[in-house]
């Protein structure tokens, strides 16, 4: 395998290959980066739609992140998060949890 500088400009063929591999979930981002001689962050930026937005994904979509991104177990933020500890304790009390204070404090802190 020939070594390439990690910050080289990718050709359109390289970007198409990266998008194909990401879309089909054939290889990990570090593996793709190593194969094509670019950095993993470049592959990630392509995956997230930050770079090379003008080159279409294999499904024909242009711009934006990889169309399969949402089906890969991406962490989603909870829509209902308490704004403070008191609200969380009140919610747990309403649900009749055994100890509503459990897990709310870092180790070494005291419950007051």
Band (pLDDT 50/70/90 cuts) for residue 31 is: very high
Residue of 11 and 7 predicted with greater confidence: 11
Check residue 96 and give its pLDDT. 65
Check residue 73 and give its pLDDT. 53
Residue of 44 and 5 predicted with greater confidence: 44
**Domain range annotation of the chain:** 12-72
Measured between alpha carbons, how far is residue 2 from residues 5, 12, 34, 78 in Å?
Answer: 10, 19, 10, 45
Within 10 A of 50 (CB to CB), how many other CB atoms are there? 13
Coil vs helix vs strand at 15? helix
* Length in residues, the chain: 112
- pLDDT at residue 89 is higher than 50: yes
> Would you state the structure tokens that stand for residue 87, as one six-digit string?
């609200």
pTM summary value: 0.57
Pick the closest to residue 86 from 107, 110, 104, 103 (CA basis). 104
Check residue 111 and give its pLDDT. 56
């Amino acid at each position: 395998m020939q070594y390439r500088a990690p910050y080289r400009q990718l050709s359109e063929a390289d970007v198409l290959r990266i998008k194909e591999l990401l879309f089909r979930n054939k290889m990990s981002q570090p593996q793709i980066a190593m194969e094509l001689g670019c950095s993993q962050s470049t592959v990630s930026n392509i995956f997230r739609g930050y770079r090379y937005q003008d080159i279409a994904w294999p499904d024909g979509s242009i711009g934006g992140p990889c169309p399969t991104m949402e089906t890969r177990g991406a962490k989603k933020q909870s829509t209902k998060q308490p704004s403070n500890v008191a609200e969380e304790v009140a919610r747990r009390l309403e649900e009749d949890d055994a100890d509503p204070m459990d897990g709310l404090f870092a180790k070494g802190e005291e419950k007051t």
